[in-house]
Structure 1
């Protein structure tokens, strides 16, 4: 089976190529998560400075626009540094490739959007079974939802998909594929995705979606496709949170409140069916370059 190798030099505007030669294993994954923790501390410091120069309400409403990107500066610096060290000696792997097989890009995107919503819905009974959310977490979620809608959209529908997919699929999962079995790479990267959400009420659906995103990335090598899926999931959450009946239920509300039990079970079964069919379609229509997935090789910069 043929292998695609990119030999062209990195262009200054091709931001993703600056990380192609960093392929973290388990230890590197832990280091990346440590960098995120350091970045989160920096982000909180920036939010504190914003509150000092303005007021608490402004910092609460707009601080995420600054603190969220700041959180990813340390891991991006570290990954770029490691990639530059390796680029003259090692083979790299592109963060974004375009292996859509018979589905084509638009077909894969459409199906991926549908299965993302189905996967989000199927997490509802598990999240509903978790212990009640502590008041400080509930207040944090409600503060985010009650802030300016455009800030919420930028933070959750643009920033989160770009930065989190770069980290969890583009760096961690892509690197793990070269160091451990693909199935373990999916599980570990999904766990990392769950951990960075820092609470079980988001971590559970994050793990489920992380497994789905990892499988899609494994098959297509397309980071932009998983970014789209992530954006669709977050946009779906933001849009539904604007529905008055949903807002009345609060952040711990379940969609089971809006339907009969048999309807709820039927919805869960339909979502599971969509997921199974999607995975089967991907498997049959997108061939793998190797058992390590479909990320294109990038030749060393010798």
Structure 2
């Protein structure tokens, strides 16, 4: 567990370090181009470079500690049957989680302004929809799960990693959905022995969120967009597909060992 706590702390600290490095650079750039120093404007402009630098530092750490090294499974494509059922479980899980969150509108979204800023340009969108999901999968499904599985059973490891994935978001509006998706992604990783389906599902989830936010900025939930009756029908179908895909994926065979 010490290794897991260390990984989470490093994950936070490297993001903070990214902000500390980016802030003075942005201020110098703003002063050089405008001749003034607007602290409020600089605090907004620093969000994207700070996130990018944080991602760079996290990538360097993962690389130096062997988490990005190909060991024959993390980059490997799973058999088509496993990949297909895993993706179906992920997509149906996204729909079910979204339906649930449509009913939990009382949870405050403390990161709304930050996400709006990130989504104002392509670099920020790439951070949310692609770069962030890939790195989070390496941190939480690759590094954290590997550490947990060395001490705990698969069920306990999946539970802890999912909870950690939710809590580290530090945003009430995301903690529940991130935890649920964390459980599912950890379970899929355990059964497929590959990060590929987890990365694809995570990218899809974040990309869909960005798409809806940009194209329907006035809509807060999917229930508002589709209507409750359509949302209920979608949830029922998603639940049936989710149960089917989980059952099918549970009985598929895997030949590699995450703990090895």
Same fold per superposition (TM over 0.5): yes
Q: Which has the larger displacement, 33-42 or 255-264? A: 255-264
Q: Which has the higher contact order (CA 8 A, sep 6+)?
A: 1
Cα deviation, 1:85-109, whole Å, max 9, x if unaligned, reads xxxxxxx895444443x6064x356
Cα deviation, 1:107-134, whole Å, max 9, x if unaligned, reads 356535633542442342354242x335
> In 2, Cα distance between the equivalents of 1:268 and 1:158?
26
Verify: 1:232 aligned to 2:204, yes or no.
yes
> In 2, Cα distance between the equivalents of 1:93 and 1:28?
23
Q: CA deviation at 1:64?
A: 4.6
Mapping for residues 101-112 of structure 1, pairs under 5 Å: 103=81, 105=83, 107-108=84-85, 111=88
> In 2, Cα distance between the equivalents of 1:151 and 1:61?
11
1:5 corresponding residue in structure 2: none
Count of aligned pairs: 248
Q: Secondary structure at the match of 1:242?
A: helix
> In 1, Cα distance between the equivalents of 2:60 and 2:103?
33
Q: CA deviation at 1:240?
A: 1.2
Q: CA deviation at 1:73?
A: 5.0
Mapping for residues 176-195 of structure 1, pairs under 5 Å: 176-195=148-167
> In 2, Cα distance between the equivalents of 1:201 and 1:97?
34
Q: TM-score, normalised by structure 2?
A: 0.81
Q: CA deviation at 1:61?
A: 6.3
> In 2, Cα distance between the equivalents of 1:235 and 1:138?
16
Verify: 1:160 aligned to 2:147, yes or no.
no
What runs of 5+ residues in structure 2 fail to find an aligned partner?
31-41
Q: TM-score, normalised by structure 1?
A: 0.71
Residue of structure 1 aligned with 2:114, choices 129, 133, 140: 140
2:37 corresponding residue in structure 1: none
Q: CA deviation at 1:179?
A: 1.4
2:6 corresponding residue in structure 1: 31
User: Are the equivalent residues in 2 in contact too, given 1:186–1:211 (CA < 8 A)?
Assistant: yes
Cα–Cα, structure 1 residues 38 and 219, in superposed 2: closer, same or farther, change >3 Å? Answer: same
> In 2, Cα distance between the equivalents of 1:181 and 1:54?
51
Residue of structure 2 aligned with 1:247, choices 194, 217, 229: 217
1:66 corresponding residue in structure 2: 52
> In 2, Cα distance between the equivalents of 1:271 and 1:115?
5
1:287 corresponding residue in structure 2: 253
Q: CA deviation at 1:288?
A: 4.2
Q: CA deviation at 1:80?
A: 3.9
Q: CA deviation at 1:268?
A: 2.3
Q: Secondary structure at the match of 2:218?
A: helix
User: Are the equivalent residues in 2 in contact too, given 1:122–1:271 (CA < 8 A)?
Assistant: no
CA RMSD of aligned residues (A): 3.0
Cα deviation, 1:263-300, whole Å, max 9, x if unaligned, reads 3322222222222121112113x2244xxxx43676xx
What runs of 5+ residues in structure 1 fail to find an aligned partner?
1-25, 85-91
Residue of structure 1 aligned with 2:234, choices 267, 272, 281: 267
Q: CA deviation at 1:43?
A: 1.3
> In 1, Cα distance between the equivalents of 2:96 and 2:248?
16
Cα–Cα, structure 1 residues 225 and 263, in superposed 2: closer, same or farther, change >3 Å? Answer: closer
> In 1, Cα distance between the equivalents of 2:241 and 2:50?
34
> In 2, Cα distance between the equivalents of 1:126 and 1:190?
21
